[in-house]
Amino acid sequence: MTVTDPAGYPYEETHDLRSGPNLHESLLGLLPYVGVWRGTGKGGYPGIEDFDYAQEVRFSHDGRPFLAYEARSWIIDAEGRPIRPGARETGWWRVQSDEDTVEVLLAHPTGFVEVYVGSIDGLKVELSTDAVVRTATAKEVSANHRLYGIVEGDLLYAVDMAAMGHDLTPHMSARLKRIAG
Ligand code: HEM
C-alpha cells in the first residue's frame, strides 16, 4: 500500500520482503519476520482457565531501521470458533546498527506499556522487559520474556509473564503461518 502524507511525500509501508532502494541494512536480520501471519495458540496462567486463541500478527516496514508491529487475538472454542476478542498489542521493533540487538516498545489496551531489550541470533529473537509501566487500573504485571523463532517457515513464539505475584510463568505460545508478504 502506498500512502501519501499531507505534505505530499510518498512513502511505502510494506509487508513484503522485497528490499527497496531505501531499505536500511540493519533491517536485514529481521526481514524474515516481515509479513502477515495467522494461526492459533494456547495460553494459561496460575489462577485462570487455560484458553485457546487465534491470532494475526503483522510486521511491516517503510525502509527505516524499525519494524511496525501489530497483533490481534481472539479467544476460540475447541472447534476453533471465535468466542470473543482477546489481547491486542501494537508497537515498534527497533533494530540496532550492530544488527544483533533489538529494542521493542509495545502498548496494550489493558493499560501496559512495555520496553524490551533483546538479541537476534539467526532467526531466533529473545526479548526481556527492561521496564513495564502500567496505569493505576491495570493488573499488576512486572516483567515479560518472549522467545520468537522462524521454524520451517512458520513464526513460533512463547511468552512468559510475571504478574499478580507470580514469577515469570508461561502465559501464551503460538504457531503462525505466513499468509502475506
Ligand atoms: C495472545 C495474547 C493473549 C491472550 C489471548 C491472553 C488471554 C488471556 C486470558 C483469556 C486471560 C484470563 C482472563 C480473561 O479472560 O481476561 C488472561 C489473563 C491475563 N493476561 Fe493475558 N492474554 C494475552 C496476552 C497478554 C499480555 C501480552 C499480557 C501482559 C502484557 C497479559 C496479561 C494478562 C494478565 C495480567 C492477566 C490476569 C492474570 C490474573 O488475573 O491472575 N496477557 N489473558
pLDDT tens, per residue, the chain with 181 residues: 455 555 555 455 666 665 566 788 888 889 999 999 999 999 999 999 999 999 999 999 888 899 999 999 999 999 999 999 999 999 999 999 887 999 999 999 999 999 999 999 999 999 999 999 999 999 999 999 999 999 999 999 999 999 999 999 999 999 999 997 7
Domain housing 43: 2-180
Residue whose C-alpha cell reads 544483533 in the numeric block: 100
Collapsing DSSP to helix, strand or coil, 25 comes out as helix
Q: Given this model, what pLDDT does residue 11 score?
A: 54
Which of 37, 48, 72 to mutate for ligand 1's pocket (most ligand atoms within 8 Å of CB)? 48
Q: Which atom of ligand 1 is nearest to the CA of 132?
A: 30
CB atoms under 10 Å from CB of 35, counted, come to 21
Q: Given this model, what pLDDT does residue 16 score?
A: 63
Q: Given this model, what pLDDT does residue 25 score?
A: 84
Tell me if 124 is assigned to a ligand binding site: no
φ, ψ for residue 142 (rounded to 5)?
-110, -25
Enter the DSSP assignment of 29.
G
Complex prediction ipTM: 0.91
What is d(CA 35, CA 55) in angstroms, rounded to the nearest whole number?
14
Say if residues 105 and 112 touch (Cβ distance below 8 Å): no
Sign of CA pseudo-dihedral 10, 13, 18, 22: positive
Which of 45, 70, 127, 166 to mutate for ligand 1's pocket (most ligand atoms within 8 Å of CB)? 45
Tell me if 171 is assigned to a ligand binding site: yes
The enclosing domain of 38 has a CATH number of: 2.40.128.20
Total domain count, the chain: 1
